[in-house]
A and B are shown apart, each in its own frame.
Chain A
Amino acid sequence: MIDIRGVRKHFGNIEILKGIDLDVNKGELLCLLGASGSGKSTLLQCINGLEPIQGGSIKVDGIEVHAASTDLNMLRQRLGIVFQQFNAFPHLKAWENVALAPRLVQGKSRREAHEIALHHLAHVGLAEKADLLPSRLSGGQQQRLAIARALAMKPTYMLFDEVTSALDPELVGEVLDTMRLLRQEGMTMVVVTHDITFARNSSDRVAFLHQGTVAEIGTVSQVLGQPRSEHTQKFLRREHC
C-alpha cells in the first residue's frame, strides 16, 4: 500500500502541498479530484520521487520514498506513471518505447524485451502498431502506448495524471477502456481526473484536494453523493453545469 503522511512540498516560497494524508490500498482505484492548481500532479510526482518533499513521509510497500538510502530507480519499477502530455519517446518505434526500460533497467536481452513489448502492446490493443514511430499514432494510441510502456516494468501501482484531458473527445473512450481493463485485472490505481463520470463509475474511493490539502476522502457515494466539504460541493456543482 501507499501511505502518505503529512506531506509538505513547496516550490520556492510557495507551499503547494500543505500536509497531505492519504492511503492507497492494494487493489483499489482511487480517484483524485480537485481544481486546477490544487496540487494533484505535484502529489503524484512526489509519490514516485520525481519531486522531492520538504516534510512528512511517503511509504510504498513500507519503503520510504524520500529516504536518502532508497534506491529510487528500483522503487520506480513498482510505480508506473502516465502523464497528461503525450510523452512517447519520438525517436523510438512503439515496441522500442516499451522495450527500453526492460533492457536498460532489468537487463533483458533484446529478444526478451521485444517479446515483452509485443505482449504489452497487444494488451492495450496496439499489436499492429509495434513498428510505427509515435508520430504515426493518434493521441489515444500514444496514451495507450505510455500505459503499455509503464506496464512493461510490472508495476504494483499505476498513477494516471489526467491522461485523457489532452485528447480529442472521440479518443477518450479507448483510453478509459484500457484503464478499466487494468482495474478488472486487479491493478492498484491512483487516477487524477476531471471526469466525474469516470470517477463515479469506476473508482472505489474518491479524494478531493483543495489548495494542497485533502478536503475530503471516502467512497464514491459519500464524496460524490453526499459531499461534506463545501469545496467539494462547489467543485461538483461547477463540473456538472
Chain B
Amino acid sequence: MFGYTFYWSLVWDAIPELLAGAWLTVQLAALSMLLGTVFGLPLAVARRQGEGRAYRLATAWVELARNTPTLFQIYMMYFGLGALGIQISSYWAVLIALTFNNTGYLAEIFRGGLAGIARQQLAAARSLGLNQRQGYLHVVFPQLLRIVFPGYVTQAVWAMLNTSLGMLVGLQELSGAAQSAQSVSFRSFEFFLITALIYYVIAKLIEFGARAVFWRWLRT
C-alpha cells in the first residue's frame, strides 16, 4: 500500500545475532536489578534516618541517579572514566551505570515501603535478641519486597528497556545487535519491528514471571 515490500528473510538470517543480543539484554537487566536491590535496601534505611553521613551519601546517590539522564550516566562510566585513564569495557560501563541508576530508583521505592511497615516489627525482632542487621534482613526486608512488588517489577521492565542505551557505547545487546545487522542489509524497518517485538516479549515475560513468583512465594 505504501509501496514498501517486506523482506523477512534477511531478518530471519540474523535471528541468532538478535537472540544473542537479547540474552545480553536480559543478563544486564537481571544483574543490575539484583545489585540495585542489594545497594538500594541499605540506602533506603539510611534515607529514613534523616541525618548523618550515611543519610547524606544516600541522598546524593538518589538525587544524582534520578535527576540525570541514564545515557549521561553510561557516558560517564565509559568516556568519563576513559578520560581519567580508566578503561572499562562497554559491558562493565553499562552494568555499573544501570546499577547506579536502578539503585537510586529502587532506594526511593523501598523508602516508601518502609513507611508502611510498623516500627513495632523491628522492635519485636530486636526484643527477641535479633541484632539490627538480622531484624532488617529477616523481618523488615521480606515484608518490604512484598509491599513494593508492583513498583519493583515496573523498575525491572524499565531497567531492561534502558539496556538499549548500551548500543551508544558499542555494546551488542539487543538494540546494538539489531543495529549491526540492519546496517549490513539496509532493511531497517523489518529489523526495528522484530527488535521491538522481542523487547515486548521480554517485558511481558518479566511481568508474568513476577506474577507467578508473587503467587507462589510472596502471598501473606
List chain A positions with a Cβ less than 8 A from chain B: 45, 48, 50, 73-74, 76-77, 79-81, 83, 85, 87, 89-91, 100-101, 104-105, 133, 135, 146, 149-150, 153
Contact = CB atoms under 8 A, between A and B. Distances in A.
B120 A90 contact: no
B134 A104 contact: yes
Main secondary structure of the interface of B (DSSP, over half): helix
Contact of B128 (A85, A90, A105): A105
16 contacts: A50-B127, A79-B127, A80-B127, A85-B118, A87-B124, A89-B121, A89-B143, A90-B220, A91-B218, A91-B220, A100-B138, A101-B129, A104-B138, A105-B128, A135-B220, A150-B127
Interface of B: 118, 120-121, 123-131, 134, 138-139, 142-143, 146, 218, 220
B149 to A, nearest CB: 12
A150 B120 CA distance: 15
A101 B143 contact: no
Nearest to B218: A91
B146 A91 contact: yes
A50 B127 CA distance: 7
A76 B124 contact: no
Nearest to A134: B220
A85 B129 contact: no
A76 B127 contact: yes
A45 B138 CA distance: 22
A225 to B, nearest CB: 34
Contacts of A133: 220
Given A85-B118, A133-B220, A153-B129, A50 B142 contact: no
Contacts of A45: 123
Contacts of B134: 104-105
B120 A73 contact: no
A50 B220 contact: no
Of listed B123, B129, B138, residue having the most chain A CB within 10 A: B129
A193 to B, nearest CB: 19
A45 B127 CA distance: 9
Given A133-B220, A135-B220, 19 more contacts: A50-B123, A73-B129, A73-B130, A83-B123, A83-B124, A85-B118, A87-B118, A87-B120, A87-B121, A89-B143, A90-B143, A91-B220, A100-B130, A100-B139, A104-B130, A104-B134, A104-B138, A105-B128, A150-B127
Contact of B130 (A80, A87, A101, A135): A101
Given A87-B118, A90-B220, A81 B127 contact: yes
A76 B120 contact: no
B129 A91 contact: no
A9 to B, nearest CB: 16
Contacts of B138: 100, 104
Contacts of B142: 91
Contacts of A90: 143, 220
B126 A50 contact: yes
